[in-house]
Amino acid sequence: MLHVDPIFTATSAVPAEVLAATPATPPPFTVGAVLTETRLDSWLAVGLVLAAGLYLYGVHRLRIRGDRWPISRTVFFLGPGLGGIALVTVSGLHAYDTALLSVHMVQHMVLSMVAPIFLALGAPMTLALRTLPVRARKRLLAIVHSRVARVYSFPLVAFAIFVVNPFALYFSDLYRFTLEHAWAHELVHAHFIMTGCVFFWPLLGLDPLPGRWPYPARALLMLLSVPFHTVLGLTIMQSSTLFGGDWYPSLNLSWSDPWNDQVVAGGILWAGGEFVSVTMLAVLVVQWIKQSEREARRVDRELDRQEARERAAGTPA
């Protein structure tokens, strides 16, 4: 295995501002390195622990009251939801998110497409509405039904944000800025999560949201999102320029080639995006079928009650 000096040594051709912003060179990317580079001191780690604690406290409150809360929702929210965020931000992967574009793309996929889906399926808003005091519940409902929430949760607006944001990030100087400033890079992580939630919550979420589209329209919107990641991934793979300018070459990683890594990053975005989109389209269709079956059973029960009332009314005294 190649040994890499952990102290970054810049050449005279690297600008002074790049040298000042460039972090220490991480060791070669291995499973062991990912495990040993785990950190628990970030603000995001604190937020994840707090979110998990509040969710479990809400479930506990329901059980004390004798109410039932589906185990699957808890598993979705804590496992692939919060756990997925932790996997790509708190684990050792964080040591490589500014050194390898491919690792950053894995973070992009998980934070914007995978974790938000399972957070939505965990129905935290419904849990909050069932456990909060009356005053806090009214405030939460006021926020959910506010004009701002209605605009951002409107499917077409959410779709536009979801599609445009990656192009605005990667095809401008903004991405280089996030590489040079740790706080901006962390802010992008939070932005990925919020963007994914805004898009997937109205489509797949179980929480009550205003202005939710019927299932056929939701399925069509999900289908339209499939080619987006294909276009973005292929564009990155075929790009004749390096994303981030000379940032990645300036790291002098003897164990990684920036050009090859960029091709891998585009492939991750392409294949991963299509897989998640098609899978979630299937989940949406399943939800649609189950909702139709519930509606059919409700209509059947209403018809049975109506027939029973008619028979009772026609029975002689």
Judged against a pLDDT cut of 60, whether residue 1 lies above it is answered with no
Give residue 70's pLDDT. Answer: 93
CA angle 102, 107, 113 (to 5 degrees): 120
Q: How much is the average pLDDT of 93-106?
A: 90
Binning pLDDT at 50, 70 and 90, where does residue 23 land?
low
What would the pLDDT profile of 58-69 be if each residue is shown by its tens digit? 999 999 998 999
Candidate from 17-21, 108-112, 286-290 with smallest mean pLDDT: 17-21
Amino acid type, 120: A
Judged against a pLDDT cut of 90, whether residue 37 lies above it is answered with no
Provide the percentage of residues in the chain whose pLDDT is more than 90: 39
Cβ–Cβ < 8 Å for 201, 159: no
Judged against a pLDDT cut of 80, whether residue 96 lies above it is answered with yes
* Cα gap 97→21, rounded to integer Å: 14
Q: How much is the average pLDDT of 198-220?
A: 83
Supply 261's token pair: 């890594």
Binning pLDDT at 50, 70 and 90, where does residue 220 land?
confident
Give CA 170 to chain center in angstroms.
18
Q: How much is the average pLDDT of 3-15?
A: 41
Judged against a pLDDT cut of 80, whether residue 25 lies above it is answered with no
Q: DSSP characters for the chain?
A: -----SS----TTS-HHHHHHPPPPPPP--HHHHHHT----SHHHHHHHHHHHHHHHHHHHHHHHT----HHHHHHIIIIIIIHHHHHHTSGGGGGTTT-HHHHHHHHHIIIIIHHHHHHHT-HHHHHHHHS-HHHHHHHHHHHTSHHHHHHHSHHHHHHHHHHHHHHHHTSTHHHHHHH-HHHHHHHHHHHHHHHHHHHHHHH--S--TTPPPHHHHHHHHHHTHHHHHHHHHHHHH-SS-TTTTHHHHT--TT--HHHHHHHHHHHHHHHHHHHHHHHHHHHHHHHHHHHHHHHHHHHHHHHHHHHHHHHHHS--
What would the pLDDT profile of 236-280 be if each residue is shown by its tens digit? 999 999 999 899 999 998 899 999 999 999 999 988 888 888 888
Judged against a pLDDT cut of 50, whether residue 16 lies above it is answered with no
Give residue 201's pLDDT. Answer: 87
Give residue 292's pLDDT. Answer: 83
Give residue 261's pLDDT. Answer: 95
The domain segmentation of the chain, as residue ranges, is 18-279
* Cα gap 252→260, rounded to integer Å: 14
Q: Which whole-number Å values give the CA distances from 53 to 40, 50, 198, in the listed order?
A: 16, 5, 23
* Cα gap 195→84, rounded to integer Å: 16
Cβ–Cβ < 8 Å for 69, 63: yes
Binning pLDDT at 50, 70 and 90, where does residue 4 land?
very low
Give residue 62's pLDDT. Answer: 93
Judged against a pLDDT cut of 50, whether residue 7 lies above it is answered with no
* Cα gap 38→234, rounded to integer Å: 32
Q: How much is the average pLDDT of 71-79?
A: 95
Give residue 34's pLDDT. Answer: 76
Q: Which of 17, 11, 18 is nearest to 247 (CA)?
A: 18
Supply 258's token pair: 């920036």
Q: How much is the average pLDDT of 139-156?
A: 85
